[in-house]
Chains A and B, each alone.
Chain A
Amino acid sequence: MSEHRGFPRGRMVHMAYSDRVIDHYNNPRNVGQLDKTSTEVGTGLVGAPECGDVMRLQIRVNPETQVIEEARFKTFGCGSAIASSSLATEWIKGRTVDDALGIKNTDIVKELSLPPVKIHCSVLAEDAIRAAIGDWKKKNGVGEAAETATATAQ
């Protein structure tokens, strides 16, 4: 039975995802995995399956320059969560660790035009950046003092 049954239908109007969210959903940047046992790699795993969002964000940091040379992510979550983490990897790549810590969830909200119900996705992405950098710092014995200083300076 190939013919259409019932009344003809119009086009389906879509939930208000911004073009940027749709772009990141369709073409997620930096998907994948880095060797988490490497000392140059920091891994952040945030969220919980029960909450419907889990992000894993990884960075490979140049030990000389402290520049994040590679970033990778994988995310279980809605389109906005996928887009937030994809965008986060794009933004932190090429920045120093301290510089990357300056990224705020509100920047992500603005860039992706996230509605209020999706703000938690951007918060999770910020948490993922901090967790990955925190893991790298722990592995490399970078002091807490430095982190506090950075935080104050922001």
Chain B
Amino acid sequence: MSNFTSSVEVPAGLHLPIYMDNHATTSVDPRVLEAMMPYFSVKFGNAASRNHSFGWEAEAAVEAAREQIARLIGATAKEIIFTSGATESNNLAIKGIAEMYRERGNHIITQVTEHKAVLDTCKRLEKYGYRVTYLPVKADGLIDLEDLKRAMDDKTILVSIMAANNEIGVLQPIAEIGKLCHEKNVLFHTDAVQAVGKVPVDVIADNIDVLSLSGHKIYGPKGVGALYVRRRNPRVQIAAQIDGGGHERGMRSGTLNVPGIVGLGKACEIAQQEMKSEAEYLTALRDGLKNKLESALDYVHVNGSMEHHLPGNLNMSFVYVEGESLLMGINDVAVSSGSACTSATLEPSYVLKALGLGDDVAHSSIRFGLGRFNTQLEVDYVAAKVIDVVKHLRQLSPLYEMVQDGIDLTKIQWAAH
């Protein structure tokens, strides 16, 4: 009765599989790769070699990249420190500030839907005697600025709040947070990995003191990232977490990843030139996908505020369908699920739970991450496929049937296992 073979046709010109998981990582832009190539071969010098042309050439490339990155976020080149990626940037920012400002205080404020690179760093600092406040988020995924105000005390040294969330794409009010921090003389760090290059971020206008960014989320290479560290009003000091040759003004030792840095610089330059048109393009694709899914299916739920949202993100719960089974049905499309079954811990997404969603709704969620290289043809196919598979799985779902029959699922005595 339920012999299911998807009836969705693959139109001419559509290449499978489709990559729609651009919050996890992005494909390197061909223009970025082209810029990087010489730095693997003929221009292989160490940027720290001061006494020959190989070194000078590499150093010049690094400084050009520093400029490109600084320009994208409204900083100056000297304020950019290269790292291995955003995880390192977040660790360096939070641990480096905690260590440097220990005399002034030991209180850090963050929020519950941060990336683990921030949350786990804060947890480690708690073991060393720091006090951390984890602000809650509202149902739309945004923090309440009043909560932030209330959490600040005379021991608060740092507020770390992300610019855009990696799962639900919600944009936190970083300009307001920055303003508040500066009024209270507290440093403001933002993990802007998902926001930089996608939406305007300006460290001056937004009062950001320290900012983490990464190459591979913006069509650059993996293994390279940067940390913006403000030099004026105030001059931020960071204790190095990696000791060695004193590279990067002593804040981050280690031979610079020149090809990676060149790629990151080029990726930032392209992002700056194309951000506006790309945001419009992705918003149109995303809204089209959302409208198609919402008009064809009942019991769909959009997670996170759509008003304060990244252009390419759509996080949706297809209630009464378990996320991993949905992924299995759309196996020629690469997306992510908040379902426990897809995680190592068998726990559903902590971000979705923080919005107050029940575990059952969290288990049903899919994250679509649209990017520069996605096309309308791909979106149309993905929408048709998701609709087809959700309908199939709802025929198999006892929960969907019960709800159709008017049964209140919350009244059932479930035997949790």
| Bound-state Cα–Cα, A6 to B371, Å | 11
A146 CB–B CB distance under 8 Å: no
Most buried by B among A6, A46, A75, A82: A6
B64 CB–A CB distance under 8 Å: no
A110 CB–B CB distance under 8 Å: no
The proximity string for B residues 375-417 relative to A, scoring 1 for CB distances below 8 Å and 0 otherwise, is 1110000000000000000011111110000000100101111
The proximity string for A residues 33-66 relative to B, scoring 1 for CB distances below 8 Å and 0 otherwise, is 1000000000001111111111110000000000
Contact residues in A for B373 (Cβ distance below 8 Å) = 5-6
Q: Is there an interface contact between A4 and B414, defined as CB atoms closer than 8 Å?
A: no
Contact residues in A for B399 (Cβ distance below 8 Å) = 49, 54, 76
Q: Which of the residues B3, B331, B372, B416 comes within 8 Å of A6, measured between beta carbons?
A: B372
Q: Is there an interface contact between A51 and B17, defined as CB atoms closer than 8 Å?
A: no
- Closest partner residue, chain B, to A117 (CB atom): B346
Q: Which of the residues B360, B398, B417 comes within 8 Å of A45, measured between beta carbons?
A: B398
How many residues of chain B are within 8 Å of chain A by beta carbon?
54
DSSP class of A's interface residues: helix, strand, loop or mixed? mixed
A1 CB–B CB distance under 8 Å: yes
B334 CB–A CB distance under 8 Å: yes
Q: Which of the residues A11, A25, A47, A123 comes within 8 Å of B414, measured between beta carbons?
A: A47
- Using A27-B4, A31-B2 as known contacts, say yes or no to A1 and B414 having CB atoms under 8 A apart: no
Contact residues in A for B321 (Cβ distance below 8 Å) = 76
How many contacting A-B pairs (Cβ < 8 A)? 137
Among B137-145, B262-270, B322-330, the one that faces the other chain is B322-330
- Using A33-B401, A56-B398, A74-B398 as known contacts, say yes or no to A12 and B334 having CB atoms under 8 A apart: yes
A17 CB–B CB distance under 8 Å: yes
| Bound-state Cα–Cα, A7 to B321, Å | 33
| Bound-state Cα–Cα, A4 to B375, Å | 7
- Using A25-B328, A27-B3 as known contacts, say yes or no to A76 and B416 having CB atoms under 8 A apart: no
The proximity string for A residues 1-33 relative to B, scoring 1 for CB distances below 8 Å and 0 otherwise, is 111111111011011010000100111100111
Q: Is there an interface contact between B396 and A79, defined as CB atoms closer than 8 Å?
A: no
Q: Which of the residues B13, B15, B375, B396 comes within 8 Å of A9, measured between beta carbons?
A: B15
Most buried by B among A17, A78, A120: A78
- Closest partner residue, chain A, to B395 (CB atom): A31
Interface set of B (CB-CB < 8 Å, partner A): 1-5, 11, 13-17, 19, 27-30, 320-322, 324-325, 328-329, 331-332, 334, 339-341, 346, 348, 358-360, 363, 372-377, 395-401, 409, 412, 414-417
A-B contact pairs, 18 of them (CB 8 A): A2-B376, A2-B377, A5-B374, A6-B372, A11-B17, A17-B328, A25-B328, A25-B329, A26-B3, A31-B396, A47-B414, A47-B417, A49-B359, A51-B359, A54-B414, A75-B397, A79-B324, A81-B322
* Shortest Cβ-Cβ A-B pairs, 6 listed: A6-B373, A49-B360, A48-B414, A12-B17, A50-B359, A74-B398
